[in-house]
Amino acid sequence: MKITVRLIVSLVLAVAMVTAAFSFYQVDREKSRMASDLELRTSILADSLRGSVARLVKEDLSARLKWIVERFGNRKRLEGVAVFDMEGNIITVTPELKPGIPQPFPEAVKTMLDNSPSSRLMDINGKETYIYVLPLMANGKINGAMALFNDASYIDLRLKEIWKTNLIRFLIYTMLIVLITLVVVRWSITGPIARIAQWMREVRTDKDKTGHLAHQCPRGDILASLINEATHMAKSLATARAKAEEAAKLSFKAASLWSANRLKEHMRAELGGKKLFLVSNREPYMHTKTGHEVRCIVPAGGLVTALDPVMRICDGLWLAHGGGDADRETVDAFDKVRVPPEDPAYTLRRVWLSKEEEKGYYYGFSNEGMWPLCHITHTRPVFRLEDWVYYQKVNEKFAEALLKEIADQESPLVLIQDYHLALLPLLVKEKRPDARVALFWHIPWPNPEAFGICPWQQEILMGMLGADLVGFHIQYHCNNFLDTVDRFLESKTDWEQFSVSRSGHTTLVKSFPISVGFENFTDRETARQENGPLRERLFRETGVHARLLGVGVDRIDYTKGIPERFRAIERFLDKHPEFVGEFTFVELGAPSRTHIKKYHDLMAEVEETVESVNWRFQTKQWRPILFLKAHHSHEEISRFYRAADICMVTSLHDGMNLVAKEFVSARDDEDGVLILSQFAGASRELTDALIINPYDIEEMADAIYRSLLMEPREKSERMARMRQVVRENNIYRWAADLITAAARLRPSDGGE
């Protein structure tokens, strides 16, 4: 409001000054004009009278003089005439004037002395009067003076009228100015400013949750440049706020995200400096020989992928079967070797198995019996007594080795992995009731009916229940396990706590969805070094001529649905021939358990399927499937993950499947589509994958088609959400949850 008042006052003052100046000027001009007009008229009249009056004065004809004076005294505006003698005294005068004229009349005296006419305004009888006096001459001599008295009050009236008119004009101007100023100021200044202020307040305060307001600054012509600046500022504010919120979120997440360092600290606090003991059949680093050259490889499979990063930061002991043909050459006198070779961080203690033991325990009972028993893939489990004997024997062997390692440890924490070592928990607990033992089962657990075909079901269950904690990937497997225990063992199942109590010992059953290191697959450094498009490089290196790339990474196992996947690719090309010559699927398949006939046959089936699909569609330059049958390093696999348009995980049954999570972790470009089996545990978490039934070839073919045509935006939104899931539920969190749960079990929960 202040600005409006100031503006109005200034404008009114300016107008007042201008009006006053013009009025003065006008009045002055008018006054001079009227005065000269009066003077002219009076002088003409005076001149016309002058001669005759001079003569009459000379001849002293008073009556005649009086008559003339009276006659002329009646003219319009002429008040009267007076004639003076040489002393300035009145000879004759219009009677009404007489009282107002002093004698001698100074003007008459002066005009006679100067011998020239003079004029002036004078108050005569209370009236403004114009007096024109001139000398009278007779025979060249002054003989008196004559004065004409004109009414000049009309000049004053006229001048007052001018002032009045100008004052009214000024008032009208003032009103108009006030009105126009108020309207213009409100319309063009205070209104827009108020709206901008309101808009800025909303942008500044939390009302602008979306940041859209920053782009919607109110309009206002004369404030255009200010608005422009304000809009920039608002946008910057919105961006800054978004960034601050993102930073806050990230820092909150960083605080809540599990990382290697956080796990390290956590373990230190949780274990109080104690070592971690991990036991599995498969070793994390395997030494093999090619000629005289010894190589160290990382065996394919989720267990190693998941647990190696955990052990690297815990500096514990990993006890595993030394299965590599150069393993014995690389251990010390205590069968130990520090790994990883390039940057030793923990100890690998190898357990040696004879060929018979390996055959009976690993190939036989574990992989021909337990593996198909737990995976519902319509592959019959085979249970042989001799395999069972070896299974028990090898579990005892592992127990013996482990007990030696933990002999001097008080309440050691032991993490046993997988179906190869189902008897180990009880074997350890029998000897070391103070040990905290957790068993993590990396494969599915079937329903009681399916499990019921195992001839040694009770022994297996009792062995497992020796653990204080039994973990599965998903709750469904926990439920199946509790159902199975309920069915086959004398025990108390607590469905609220998810625990089993038997002979005074309680086992907690809990789900721990395993994962990957996430950051370990976001290999920015390697990505940076790959100058040029990665896909073209891979195509060149593998001799592929295509535009689109699909990838599959598997141990060659009948649970992975590999032939089904290839048949889906065949069906896809059948339905969409426009992709012939365009799309190639690269299968990175690591041979596995090849001594088992089923696996041997599977390899043949996979190769045959590849051949038949390729034969149908291949051209001179191009083929639909490239099967790279070999053990591939993480780095090699990672490059394919990053270059692929789609990744297919088509397990017929799978505990978790870490390939799915590895692929998601590798895609920091948020590109690529994951096609994921509904029968893999990962499908519970990665709901933004295209979830398929691997038995439904038609559905899989359609999913391939949909993935290849998916809008980039949808792809990146899905990938971003999946990455968030894996980032948050990474392997460090898995390890922290599992280890914390095991370490915090109360003494009454464990031990006999």
Binding string, 715-734, against ligand F6P, x = CB under 6 A? --------------------
Binding string, 492-531, against ligand F6P, x = CB under 6 A? ----------------------------------------
Exposed (0-12), middle (13-18) or buried (19+): which is 436, by Cβ within 10 Å? Answer: buried
Q: Does 680 bind ligand F6P (CB under 6 A)?
A: no
Instruction: Give whichever of 227 and 590 is closer to ligand F6P, judged by the CB atom.
Output: 590
Minimum separation from the CB atom of position 558 to ligand F6P (A):
13
303-322 residues near ligand F6P, rule: CB under 6 A: 303-304
Instruction: Give whichever of 368 and 645 is closer to ligand F6P, judged by the CB atom.
Output: 368
Q: What is the DSSP string of 587-642?
A: EEEE---TTSHHHHHHHHHHHHHHHHHHHHH--SS--SEEEEES---HHHHHHHHH
Q: Residue 408: which residues within 8 A CB-CB, separation 6 or more?
A: none
Q: Which of 438, 409, 405 is nearest to 317 (CA)?
A: 405
Minimum separation from the CB atom of position 348 to ligand F6P (A):
15
Whether residue 692 contacts residue 703, with contact meaning beta carbons closer than 8 Å, is answered with yes
Whether residue 721 contacts residue 700, with contact meaning beta carbons closer than 8 Å, is answered with no
Instruction: Give whichever of 72 and 599 is closer to ligand F6P, judged by the CB atom.
Output: 599
Report the C-alpha gap between 628 and 633 in whole angstroms.
Answer: 13
Instruction: Give whichever of 266 and 684 is closer to ligand F6P, judged by the CB atom.
Output: 684
- Choose, by CB under 6 A, the member of 41, 274, 282, 535 that binds ligand F6P: 282
Instruction: Give whichever of 471 and 624 is closer to ligand F6P, judged by the CB atom.
Output: 471
- Choose, by CB under 6 A, the member of 592, 609, 651, 683 that binds ligand F6P: 592
Joined tokens for residue 574: 């059948």
Whether residue 608 contacts residue 735, with contact meaning beta carbons closer than 8 Å, is answered with no
Instruction: Give the binding-site size for ligand F6P (rule: CB under 6 A).
Output: 12
- Choose, by CB under 6 A, the member of 88, 117, 284, 302 that binds ligand F6P: 302
**Other Cβ atoms closer than 10 A to 272:** 9
Report the C-alpha gap between 222 and 423 in whole angstroms.
Answer: 85
Q: Is 105 left (phi over 0), alpha (psi -120 to 50) or beta?
A: beta
Minimum separation from the CB atom of position 694 to ligand F6P (A):
16
Q: Does 301 bind ligand F6P (CB under 6 A)?
A: yes
Instruction: Give whichever of 301 and 448 is closer to ligand F6P, judged by the CB atom.
Output: 301
- Phi, psi values for residue 141, rounded to 5°: -125, 145
CA distances from 102 to 87, 90, 113, 150 (A): 12, 9, 18, 17
Region binding ligand F6P by CB under 6 A among candidate stretches 149-157, 266-274, 301-309, 672-680: 301-309
Minimum separation from the CB atom of position 255 to ligand F6P (A):
31
Instruction: Give whichever of 132 and 277 is closer to ligand F6P, judged by the CB atom.
Output: 277
Region binding ligand F6P by CB under 6 A among candidate stretches 300-308, 432-440, 545-553, 563-571: 300-308
Minimum separation from the CB atom of position 398 to ligand F6P (A):
14
User: What pairs with residue 81 in β-bridges?
Assistant: 148
Instruction: Give whichever of 78 and 443 is closer to ligand F6P, judged by the CB atom.
Output: 443
Minimum separation from the CB atom of position 636 to ligand F6P (A):
18
**Count of alpha carbons within 13 Å of 690, Cβ hemisphere only?**
23
For residues 725-746, b (16+ Cβ closer than 10 Å) or e, as one string? bbbebbbbbbbbbbbebbbebe
The owner of tokens 């065996």 is 299
- Choose, by CB under 6 A, the member of 358, 418, 468, 702 that binds ligand F6P: 418
Strand ranges across the sheet with 413-417: 336-339, 346-351, 317-321, 276-280, 413-417, 436-440, 469-472, 505-511, 499-502, 492-494
Strand ranges across the sheet with 548-555: 625-629, 583-590, 548-555, 646-649, 673-677, 690-692
Instruction: Give whichever of 555 and 723 is closer to ligand F6P, judged by the CB atom.
Output: 555
CA distances from 613 to 531, 552, 559 (A): 34, 16, 21
Question: What is the number of the residue whose Cβ is closest to ligand F6P?
Answer: 301
Report the C-alpha gap between 312 and 301 in whole angstroms.
Answer: 17
Minimum separation from the CB atom of position 481 to ligand F6P (A):
16
Longest distance between any two alpha carbons in the chain, whole Å: 182
Minimum separation from the CB atom of position 538 to ligand F6P (A):
25
End-to-end, the C-alpha distance of the chain in Å comes to 87
Minimum separation from the CB atom of position 303 to ligand F6P (A):
3
Whether residue 415 contacts residue 440, with contact meaning beta carbons closer than 8 Å, is answered with yes
Binding string, 441-480, against ligand F6P, x = CB under 6 A? -xx-------------------------------------
Minimum separation from the CB atom of position 555 to ligand F6P (A):
6
Region binding ligand F6P by CB under 6 A among candidate stretches 297-305, 407-415, 424-432, 595-603: 297-305
Instruction: Give whichever of 366 and 499 is closer to ligand F6P, judged by the CB atom.
Output: 366
Q: Does 93 bind ligand F6P (CB under 6 A)?
A: no
Minimum separation from the CB atom of position 593 to ligand F6P (A):
6
Q: Which of 297, 267, 538 is nearest to 413 (CA)?
A: 267
Minimum separation from the CB atom of position 437 to ligand F6P (A):
18
Minimum separation from the CB atom of position 625 to ligand F6P (A):
24
**Count of alpha carbons within 13 Å of 496, Cβ hemisphere only?**
0
Instruction: Give whichever of 302 and 672 is closer to ligand F6P, judged by the CB atom.
Output: 302
- Choose, by CB under 6 A, the member of 432, 510, 560, 593 that binds ligand F6P: 593
Report the C-alpha gap between 453 and 383 in whole angstroms.
Answer: 9
Q: What is the DSSP string of 105-137?
A: -HHHHHHHHHTS-EEEEEEETTEEEEEEEEEEE
Instruction: Give whichever of 170 and 734 is closer to ligand F6P, judged by the CB atom.
Output: 734
Instruction: Give whichever of 303 and 708 is closer to ligand F6P, judged by the CB atom.
Output: 303
Joined tokens for residue 127: 């009236």
Binding string, 236-275, against ligand F6P, x = CB under 6 A? ----------------------------------------
Binding string, 640-669, against ligand F6P, x = CB under 6 A? ---------------x--------------
Minimum separation from the CB atom of position 482 to ligand F6P (A):
21
Instruction: Give whichever of 82 and 304 is closer to ligand F6P, judged by the CB atom.
Output: 304
In this structure, the dihedral spanned by the alpha carbons of residues 12, 17, 19 and 22, taken in order and rounded to 10 degrees, is -160
Whether residue 80 contacts residue 92, with contact meaning beta carbons closer than 8 Å, is answered with no
Region binding ligand F6P by CB under 6 A among candidate stretches 123-131, 151-159, 298-306, 743-751: 298-306
Region binding ligand F6P by CB under 6 A among candidate stretches 169-177, 302-310, 444-452, 635-643: 302-310
Instruction: Give whichever of 227 and 304 is closer to ligand F6P, judged by the CB atom.
Output: 304
541-580 residues near ligand F6P, rule: CB under 6 A: 555
Whether residue 709 contacts residue 682, with contact meaning beta carbons closer than 8 Å, is answered with no
Whether residue 534 contacts residue 540, with contact meaning beta carbons closer than 8 Å, is answered with no
Minimum separation from the CB atom of position 281 to ligand F6P (A):
6
Minimum separation from the CB atom of position 373 to ligand F6P (A):
13
Position 195, amino acid: R
Binding site for ligand F6P (CB under 6 A): 282, 301-304, 418, 442-443, 555, 592-593, 655
